[in-house]
Every structure is written in C-alpha cells, then in structure tokens.
Amino acid sequence: MLLLSGLILLNPAQAAEVQTGIDPEAQLPYWELRNPEMSLRLVQRVPDQTRAFFQARGFTNDNAELIAQSCVFQTVFKNTSHETSPSPLEYNLHEWTVLFANQAHKMKLREDWKPEWVQREVPIAAQLAFEWALYPTWQVYQPGDYNWGMSIFNLRPGSVFDLEVVWKQSGKKHTAMIKDIKCAEDTYVAPQGAE
C-alpha cells in the first residue's frame, strides 16, 4: 500500500514528495520525504517495541516506559545525490520543528535526555546504549551515505503532528513539511511469526 500524500516545492528545479504506506520489514506505517537527492523515512515504533528494547539494555520498567510513551520513530535518512548530481547532505535536528495542537516545539534529542538519565541514576551502560540507539543530532552525509536510529518526538501515543524538516544540500538550505504523522497507539502488536 503506497499513498501519495503531498507535493512540496523546494525550488523551481526540484520537488519533494511525501509518501505514506506500510513498511515491508516493520509492518507498520511510514512517512517518507523524497526528492532526487535525498530520502527521509520515519517508521512507527509501537511502545511495546521500545519498552522491550530499552528494558533489554538495562533500563528499569519506569525509565523504559518514559521513552515508550514519548512517540518514537525509526528514522532512515539517505543522501541519494550520487544518482543525480553528487552533493554532501548536512542536517541538524535542532533546526527541525514539531507542530502539534497549534504549537511548535523541538524533538527530544540525546542532549535533552542526558540530564534526565543522570538524575534518575540510569546506569552508564544503559545511557550509552540509549545514546547509540538514537538518531544522531547532527551529521554530514557524502553522496550514497545514510544512517538510521530512533527519533523521539515527545508526544503521547496516538498523537498526530506535522514535522518541518531542514537540511543543506547542493549549496542551498531546504525546508519541507511532512504532514499528519501519527505516533503509534499504545496497543499490543504480536511479533512477526508469533502465533
């Protein structure tokens, strides 16, 4: 299932599409922003996945629950310009804006969580696992490079929000909006292959 949900003009020579559908591996909804030079895919993670992932890495039930209730997505960002006109891609998540209930706020990044984990006395090994699991705050991708990780939008399960994405490529700053992204509901989903 693939739905075209919008067309966003970046500049006269280039347009970005936002597509939605069901990710074939995760079997969960995704939202993807794509143009000839880049693609950004956000795939829902159900709270149960997030709970289990972080409990297995040394987080207490309460601390894993805090993350699980914060709207987590698997994020995959690719520089696909090697197929068109090669150019580095740079982003900084501090520039991205979450729009929810007529208010704008920022994503909850690694740096935002760190003092909370220190205050809650989360073991250092668990803090490191958390930091490595999250999508990097800032990076530059050369043509053909990509990365993935978890992004946290600091919203309740089931919330619907828009995301303003900002990146630099081909000597220009680009801005695009992904609309109507939905945080996964907090319902049980059986693992693939489970009876």
CA torsion sign for 62, 76, 115, 164 is: negative
Pairing of strands 138-141, 103-105: unpaired
11-42 confidence digits (pLDDT tens): 433 568 999 999 999 999 999 999 999 999 99
Query: Could you give the residue ranges of the DSSP H alpha helices within the chain?
Result: 47-55, 61-68, 110-119, 124-133
49-77 confidence digits (pLDDT tens): 999 999 999 999 999 999 999 999 999 99
* pTM > 0.85: yes
